[in-house]
Amino acid sequence: MLGPPSSGKGTQAVRISNHYKIPHISIGDLLRDHVDRCTEYGKKAKSFMDNGQLVPDDLVVEMTKKRLAKNDCKKGWILDGFPRNLTQAKKLDKFGKPDVVLNLFIEPTELIARSAGRRICTKCHTVYNISSNPSKNEDVCDQCGGELIQRDDDKEEVIRHRLEVYEQETQPLVKHYVKRNLLKSVYGGGGIDAVFQRVLDAFKH
Ligand code: AMP
């Protein structure tokens, strides 16, 4: 799945995962989990993530390759947050060539507004938005009762930098996958259900 920060990649990836019964693999979630557990990967990744930069390719490539090799991925997977540059895309072609690449696009002003309202569960990583998709009780996850927080990298300064990184590093992948005839572009604006319907329609054509 391609799409800038806050385009709704994670939310739509969960829907796709439930619909097609394939695992949702969020590289950002895997990395945050490593940071929380202070693993070697986590220690190396933390400062890059805090600054809204990409974590070095070797680390994320190795982590993604290991994850896709697990049994639950035998019948497919939805990968969210990888690849994020051309080097990663070329590596992915070797160990997990995608059948379809979904590109969620949306206006930059909407992305900033969404990031400001985004809250994430510290335990199960479910994502909410205080205006468009709030939890029933403020700061408490509906799914597991965990605490909801704003990610440090969703603060406005960092998100602006993440958007620049996206433009420079990840946007070129659109061309890469158009050339390979794999890209389906879907407008990510509006409600979650409406976007998901567009995603399903795009998969049919
Ligand atoms: P996300 O949750 O997908 O927005 O990712 C959060 C952060 O994790 C990013 O801003 C990067 O610092 C890091 N990250 C996630 N996926 C990758 C990747 N494929 N390559 C490098 N860094 C990544």
User: What DSSP letter does each residue of 147-162 carry, written as one string?
Assistant: BEE--GGGSHHHHHHH
Please give the pLDDT value at position 74.
95
Please give the distance, rounded to the nearest whole angstrom, from the Cα atom of residue 28 to the centre of ligand 1: 5
Please give the pLDDT value at position 150.
92
Please give the distance, rounded to the nearest whole angstrom, from the Cα atom of residue 103 to the centre of ligand 1: 16
By C-alpha distance, which of 98, 78, 86, 92 is closest to 181? 98
183-187 and 101-105: which strand pairing? parallel
Is residue 102 within 8 Å of residue 186, measured between CB atoms? yes
Please give the pLDDT value at position 55.
97
The full set of domain ranges for the chain reads 9-204
Please give the distance, rounded to the nearest whole angstrom, from the Cα atom of residue 180 to the centre of ligand 1: 24
Please give the pLDDT value at position 113.
85
Question: Which active-site residues does the annotation give?
Answer: 9, 84, 118, 151, 162
Using left for φ > 0, alpha for ψ between -120 and 50, and beta otherwise, residue 82 falls in beta
Please give the distance, rounded to the nearest whole angstrom, from the Cα atom of residue 144 to the centre of ligand 1: 24
Q: Where are any strands of DSSP class E within 13-66?
A: 24-26
Using left for φ > 0, alpha for ψ between -120 and 50, and beta otherwise, residue 76 falls in left
Please give the pLDDT value at position 112.
87
Ligand 1 neighbourhood includes 5 CB (under 6 angstroms) = yes
- CA-proximal residue: ligand 1, atom 11 (nearest): 54
pTM beyond 0.85: the answer is yes
- CA-proximal residue: ligand 1, atom 12 (nearest): 49
24-26 and 78-80: which strand pairing? parallel
Query: Homologous superfamily of 9-204 in CATH?
Result: P-loop containing nucleotide triphosphate hydrolases (3.40.50.300)
Ligand 1 neighbourhood includes 154 CB (under 6 angstroms) = no
Ligand 1 neighbourhood includes 199 CB (under 6 angstroms) = no
- CA-proximal residue: ligand 1, atom 6 (nearest): 28
By C-alpha distance, which of 130, 127, 134, 133 is closest to 117? 130
Nearest atom, ligand 1, residue 84 CA: 19
Please give the pLDDT value at position 152.
85
Report how far apart, in Å, the C-alpha atoms of 119 and of each of 18, 123, 155 are.
Answer: 21, 12, 11
pLDDT tens, the chain, 205 aa long? 999 998 999 999 999 999 999 999 999 999 999 999 999 999 999 999 998 899 999 999 999 999 999 999 999 999 999 999 999 999 999 999 999 999 999 998 888 888 889 999 999 989 999 988 899 999 999 999 999 999 888 888 888 899 999 999 999 999 999 999 999 999 999 999 999 999 999 999 7
Ligand 1 neighbourhood includes 77 CB (under 6 angstroms) = no
